Amino acid sequence: MSEEEKKTSYHLLFDEDTGELTPKTEKDKDGKWNLKEIQDFATATNGRPFEDSVIDEIIESFEVDDNNNLLFSGFYQMYYMQTVSEPEETLKDFQKQMAATTPSDVDMQDANENNVEKGIIDTLDASKIKIALEECKILVIGAGGLGCEILKNLALTGFKQIHVIDMDTIDLSNLNRQFLFRKKDIGKSKAMVAAEFVMSRVPGVQVTPYFGKIQDKDDEYYKQFQLIICGLDSVEARRWINAKVIEMVDEDDMEHTWKPLIDGGTEGFKGQARIILPTITSCYECSLDMLSKPTTFPICTIANTPRLPEHCIEWASVLEWPRVWGSKKYDTDNPEDINWLYQQALTRAKQFNITGVTYSLTQGVVKNIIPAIASTNAIIAGDAGVYTYTFEHQKKPECPVCGNESKTAELDKDITVDQLIEYLTERSDT
């Protein structure tokens, strides 16, 4: 086994008779690491070997089940060996982490009520964690750049029952970051291909795909999951699933109707991950005013004095399209519509000696596309899986989805539905 393979093979067990750290799997028998090799590895990664006390603690921390399989896999060994700071301090941090201080469903039934109130929970039973991961059913909404990362993370963490929904098909432009897809998959369903790929690479995982809209599913479908994770690129889709999980809550049947929602999103080099606990924390609707506003241009500029290629594209979509096509709306996913806008914008640009109008730019402006970056997806997917609060967003009492504030409005009894909608739209407090 090469040195590089040794550095990535952390599934090791300690043999008290031989003093060797041996691989977990049969196929890696040639990769036994004795204590000297562990110290050599520590020296290579940390600049000095581990102290004897650290080695002893590492050995004691290896937990195995009845079949001598590691329950805490390679993550914790990597946590020790790859630290670039003080190994001894890292060990202390790890021991605090092992003595979990966050309540968990797998041990809540056995927890002492007084300790729970104080925020103290006994060390979690590793076997219970393993069983909980296998029995937990998770829904991933979105199988794009962020969704691919989330699916990979869940499968490798130990979750066995995963469902995924996505209404999109695979495009050539997806392949630079959506690593579950290949060129041969272009045109196929993202959900279908992602599910097939994950199951082929991670034995024992069952990924159930659905090629369609989240709105196609009823309440009973969503109630089967213990957790819902979103990797969406649409505000409207986020608003819909946010409203759905809150709408489903039944105080008389919280066990089956209360579904935590983890929402992740990326925008270029920026991203966020947050957890929404229906009826407890603020919901997605509460934070809509924090969203960045789309870039707009003054009508007088795009109509009379365009200076940028974007001005020409806006002119084609906002002014020229309705002049030619009337009330018909263009389809941002229809290549023919996008090409028509591109040709009109190109003609407009030539009239004003403006360069830079391209098909891809036209598509980006019309669809408000922001470049997606693989590294950002990876970081936010990690945050969505190992979530920590940076701040808690306050609930809005007047939120139309999760708030309970009511307001009275006097309306004419003969008002139509369209007039009512227009009235509510114009009111700043609705």
Q: Where in the sequence numbering do the catalytic residues fall?
A: 300
Closest CA to 11 of 82, 51, 64, 90: 64
Give the sheet arrangement for strand 20-23, strand by strand. Answer: 12-15, 20-23, 33-34
CB 178 within 8 A of CB 148: yes
CB 166 within 8 A of CB 189: yes
Other Cβ atoms closer than 10 A to 188: 14
CB 368 within 8 A of CB 171: no
Amino acid letter, residue 2: S
Other Cβ atoms closer than 10 A to 418: 8
Amino acid letter, residue 365: V
CB 392 within 8 A of CB 281: yes
- Alpha-carbon gap, residue 110 to 421, rounded angstroms: 52
CB 297 within 8 A of CB 263: no
Per-residue buried b or exposed e for 42-64, using 16+ beta carbons within 10 Å of the residue's own CB = beeebeebbeeebbebbeeeeee
- Alpha-carbon gap, residue 175 to 186, rounded angstroms: 9
Residues forming a β-bridge with 13: 22
